[in-house]
Amino acid sequence: MLIVADSKIPYLKGVLEPCADVRHLDPREITPETVRDADALIIRTRTKCDAALLAHSRVSVIATATIGIDHIDLDWCGKRGIVCRNAAGCNAASVAQYMTSALLRVSLRHNVDLRGKSLGVVGCGHVGSKVAAAAYALGMNVLVNDPPRARREGPSGFVTLETIQNEADFVTFHVPLTQAGPDRTEHLADEAFFRGLRKKPFFFNTSRGDVVDEPALKKAIIEGQISGAVLDVWHNEPEIDRELLSLVDFATPHIAGYSADGKANGTAMAVEVVAQGLHILEPDVIQQVRADILAKVPAPANPVVTLDAASANPIADAVLASYDVAADDAALRAAPENFEALRGSYRVRREFPAYTVKLSGCESDDSLLDALRKLGFRLD
């Protein structure tokens, strides 16, 4: 069995080698020639799997260690019996951590209290659900728009996009990129969307760059249709719009889901897909392999966060000690031409449960304790 794997996927080397020939290649080296004799691929979003890559190969299984799957031609692969799976939900907690940091950074910069404000969540699957839960922990109200879920589950608990346009103080997108059909999301945030916003909300996008019409977003910022913006994803990555970069509050190089925990989850899920698809590992062995991959994630450099009882915003102190979006923003602004390198060499970032918060005089603040627990921190 030959498995071709993206060499940038962490915690993968050595995992499947005992039962298969595994070739770890730079994404640029994954070509029709190098996959011709492969039985399976383990990839990321930078590898486009379509007829041009696979027409003359024997690939039968494709596992992408990402939640995105729009880089795979599912129709073409399906007609040829190629099993294609993504790592749905693998980095949902990572994106929720990013959004929590971004919301708090925006609130601090603009002196806006998040408590009681409404967050419109467009797309409430694995990621959007965790973002909504984090927003509740911060004391926000949440408006959920997800037409596919509303059709399956009934309208209760969901609102229209127009309701979000009318009522939201903050709007965040967590949808897949779809280019056709009733739930098309390409340029869902277009000029008409921004023109219809009534409360000049802050705008966030961590889904896909083409969900947003970038000229319309620039116009919305310049004309004051929104109060500010945070972007992690961009049209035409890695060649991003420098004018738009200068206009947004916080800008990052597509790393919202790049926690070490999320990466390990994605790798483990991809390994499981390939192991099952090629019948090279027994179920109990797969579970042990998953545990071994997750155990490879290093501890944070500073795993204990001590809160000051006199702090004006202890939740922000705890969150920003675990992850501060401002650091990634500064790195991108300093060298936007290094967009891809910033992703490829991204530091080890751990999610909230890897941190223990020492309360130091805050023990009697039940609302603080509840918020920290809901965000996922361990308490001491």
Query: Is 237 marked active-site?
Result: yes
Helix (H, G, I), strand (E, B) or coil at 78: helix
Q: How far apart are CA 318 and CA 232, in angstroms?
A: 22
Q: How far apart are CA 17 and CA 60, in angstroms?
A: 18
Answer whether 345's CB lies under 8 Å from 292's CB.
no
Q: Of these residues, 167, 186, 191, 237, which one is catalytic?
A: 237
Chain-centre distance for alpha carbon 235: 16
Structure tokens at 340: 């891809």
Q: How far apart are CA 1 and CA 59, in angstroms?
A: 10
Strand (E) or helix (H) holding 21: strand 21-25
Q: Of these residues, 46, 105, 174, 208, which one is catalytic?
A: 208
Residue with tokens 């921004």: 194
Q: Of these residues, 174, 254, 290, 349, which one is catalytic?
A: 254
Query: Is 208 marked active-site?
Result: yes
Q: For residue 360, which phi and psi values (nearest 5 degrees)?
A: 45, 65
The percent of the chain in helix, strand and coil, each rounded to the nearest 5, is: 40, 15, 45
Query: Is 167 marked active-site?
Result: no
Strands (E), 123-199: 141-145, 170-173
Answer whether 44's CB lies under 8 Å from 65's CB.
yes
Q: Which residues contact 123 (CB under 8 A, 6 or more apart)?
A: 145, 146, 173, 174, 175, 176, 185, 207
Q: Is 187 left (phi over 0), alpha (psi -120 to 50) or beta?
A: left
| DSSP structure class, residue 186 | T
Answer whether 25's CB lies under 8 Å from 7's CB.
yes
Among 75, 79, 46, 74, CA closest to 62: 74
Q: Which residues are catalytic?
A: 208, 237, 254
